[in-house]
Chain A
């Protein structure tokens, strides 16, 4: 079994797993970072969204062998203290119902806000269309992204 050296949430970590193991399962089963969720396994629901060198990716569909020295940030590393603007906004708007998809939603939203500090509704549609919320908390997700933009820019 090959050994992979990964940089996750700014820490070096090593795992011995098969090369086709998706990053998602490395995070969840081998690194005990279970905040990243499994929903579909085919990059259709966004529950497994993490940042790879700052870009949002679906970790269920990226094998560990493709990570190399790129930096992985998961929900556990989105902020040191749980106070990233999207986390503050998510709390302020009371977004979650079941909460299962929200880590993926927040990772997509954080990546959007980095690229577009003042996203329009159309920007949100484009950036967040890949993240399913089965509870359909979408109205609050949209509102929270606008709120997070204000927090980030203030």
Chain B
């Protein structure tokens, strides 16, 4: 990890700024922790890009990255506060706007926020602390080495002097803040590793305006956009007479293949858009799920582009004592963030103000620049809290909508999607399939492994650094990509979200075929990867073994009472190691999941309460979509468009999820996604243990008799 900081990011403390705290949108962006009684702040000093300190000692920490529910607006400021040595009660967190000069990696994706900014955040707090200590040393004419910080104060115990940070600001103004200072030893962390509740708690619990959909300004008009009903269709003509005659409707705007109705209120534009009479040119080659599935199955029988090859897999398969073969299939999935897509734009002749839920504010800015011709310094982007992201808000189609309309009308515009608009104009998790082969020798040793992938618009879906690559002498990975008009994109833990199910289910099949216990089979493979690694190995076999053993121990693996069936799975992604044991029971021939026991190694856990929430949520997300999730197509059109046709997991179906973290002091890694990946396989493997049937197609049971597998509820 690069410790170097850009000097521009850490301005020398210069002068006290007069006036109060300036934040763009108090109602939207600020949140205040309960403060002990102290005099109100009357001036604030910008210490560096991440924090400012008030004359009363309070601290405002700017959280740079978008908050989509992954908890970074709480956890990133915690890291700054830790090194600054400021009690959390004295911290106010605000969301920083897009600021390319001062922040790097200001986006939310790939579970990267904490991992990439860990040292930068620490250094922001530590350099500020250094400046304050230096100021106190100058003031009291004592050596820096005799000073300590505690509770937002610098102390000189020998002379019994102390000053809170606010009292040191003026003296600190003449201190040159270095780019790098010594960071704390993790064993001295006071805040990191403790449970800090969601910084936005009070605002969430009382219904304050926080989200993109809540944002309004005077004179703002609402817009609903009608998009082509089928992927590949184009706009032919619009009869907008009826829509324009409806109450509250101000404009009808065309751009690209879309038509927007602009008016005074949400309901009026929702209704009027339904009254548009739009003629579409049908797609030249309307796509269907039936066609996709057949084409993927066909391609799985053909050699694809080689993505990894170790040893001589062809020979190893020829010489095998036993070959196991199986295919796995997954459908498209919409993201279904509960807050549908929406965005605000106000474009004028020489500026554009963008506000809303985006995981990629820089992309939003560039989108606006390319549509309007404005320059970088003419576009501002503010991020609201987001009602879920899951990858959907990495894209800028909804930003384009708002900017296009505002650019044409030069009015403040808020684009809103209905659920139907949102579900049918997605950037979906692509549909994909895998075919696996494994060769066993006469002792049941895995001698060769072949994985072939194919996706519809999903790129190459093999992952060359996944287990068991590295643990087997002969490996072949190859894949195909089918092009499609259907827009696809990153969906929580892209590719891994189904590859985890497919790979870890197949490994289970191989273990059973080899007559070995599925846990022991995995541990043996990892010993191979440790002792005789083959080709490039990115995962640490020891850490894999660590989480497997922890999950097994906590679940009492292998010691389940009669009637309780266990399945195990392991997955490494986003630099994080996760193992799970799922337990289920059969009631009236139907499976009920009892619990999922999870072990996670993500290095230092910054905020355990938030971390557990992420792990539980991602596991239930994975299980829910594995049982229920599927978006199908006919004639290029999605066949489901709302929750009456598209099932998501609900509270009655939720099993207990027990979360255990491996304790270490390694730098933290991602946590918003990785726990999702092994969960579906752990459940599928437990289902095999219970039913003797292998589950290879999602949604589970889609290839079997109706009612064979139903997720009906918890046990106990």
| A76, B201: Cα distance in complex, Å | 14
Binary contact readout B602-625 vs A (1 if CB under 8 angstroms, 0 otherwise): 000000011001101110110010
**CB-contact partner of B209 in A21, A34, A96, A124, under 8 A:** A34
The interface residues of chain B lying within 8 Å CB-to-CB of A96 are: 69, 198, 200-201, 204
B250 within 8 A of A: no
Q: Is there contact, CB below 8 Å, between A29 and B265?
A: yes
| A132, B644: Cα distance in complex, Å | 12
The answer to whether residues A44 and B339 also contact, given A97-B69, A102-B204, A132-B648 and a CB cut-off of 8 A, is no
**CB-contact partner of A97 in B202, B336, B617, B644, under 8 A:** B617
B256 within 8 A of A: no
Q: How far is the CB of B34 from chain A (nearest CB, A)?
A: 11
Q: Is there contact, CB below 8 Å, between A42 and B644?
A: yes
Binary contact readout B386-415 vs A (1 if CB under 8 angstroms, 0 otherwise): 111110000000000000000000000000
Q: Is there contact, CB below 8 Å, between A131 and B339?
A: no
Q: Is there contact, CB below 8 Å, between A40 and B642?
A: yes
Q: How far is the CB of A39 from chain B (nearest CB, A)?
A: 5
Summarize A's interface: helix, strand, loop or mixed: loop
The interface residues of chain B lying within 8 Å CB-to-CB of A150 are: none
| A64, B36: Cα distance in complex, Å | 44
**CB-contact partner of B207 in A21, A34, A135, under 8 A:** A34
| A91, B202: Cα distance in complex, Å | 8
- Which chain A residue shows the least CB distance to B618? A136
A75 within 8 A of B: yes
Chain A interface: which of B112-120, B157-165, B507-515, B651-659? B651-659
- Which chain A residue shows the least CB distance to B195? A94
The interface residues of chain A lying within 8 Å CB-to-CB of B388 are: 98, 100, 134-135
Q: Is there contact, CB below 8 Å, between A75 and B207?
A: yes
The interface residues of chain B lying within 8 Å CB-to-CB of A146 are: none
Q: Is there contact, CB below 8 Å, between A102 and B620?
A: no
The interface residues of chain A lying within 8 Å CB-to-CB of B255 are: none
The interface residues of chain B lying within 8 Å CB-to-CB of A134 are: 336-338, 387-388, 390, 621, 648
Q: Is there contact, CB below 8 Å, between A136 and B620?
A: yes
**CB-contact partner of B643 in A33, A35, A40, A76, under 8 A:** A40
| A18, B270: Cα distance in complex, Å | 13
Summarize B's interface: helix, strand, loop or mixed: loop
A72 within 8 A of B: no
Within 8 A of B (CB), among A123-138: 124-125, 128-129, 131-138
B465 within 8 A of A: no
A101 within 8 A of B: yes
The interface residues of chain B lying within 8 Å CB-to-CB of A17 are: 265, 267
Q: Is there contact, CB below 8 Å, between A18 and B620?
A: no
**CB-contact partner of A138 in B68, B210, B614, B620, under 8 A:** B620
**CB-contact partner of B649 in A1, A100, A136, under 8 A:** A136
Q: Is there contact, CB below 8 Å, between B644 and A91?
A: no
Within 8 A of B (CB), among A75-116: 75-76, 78, 82, 87, 90-91, 94, 96-103, 106
Q: Is there contact, CB below 8 Å, between A29 and B213?
A: no
Q: Which 6 interchain pairs have the tightest Cβ spacing?
A: A35-B207, A98-B69, A100-B387, A75-B207, A136-B620, A44-B643
Known: A91-B197, A99-B387. 10 other contacts (CB 8 A): A18-B247, A32-B216, A38-B340, A42-B644, A75-B207, A91-B202, A94-B201, A96-B204, A97-B71, A98-B68
User: 30 A-B Cβ contacts within 8 A?
Assistant: A21-B265, A25-B266, A25-B267, A34-B214, A37-B339, A38-B213, A41-B420, A44-B644, A75-B205, A76-B206, A78-B206, A96-B198, A97-B70, A97-B71, A97-B617, A99-B200, A99-B385, A100-B69, A100-B211, A100-B388, A101-B338, A101-B387, A102-B205, A129-B650, A131-B651, A134-B337, A135-B69, A137-B616, A138-B651, A139-B654
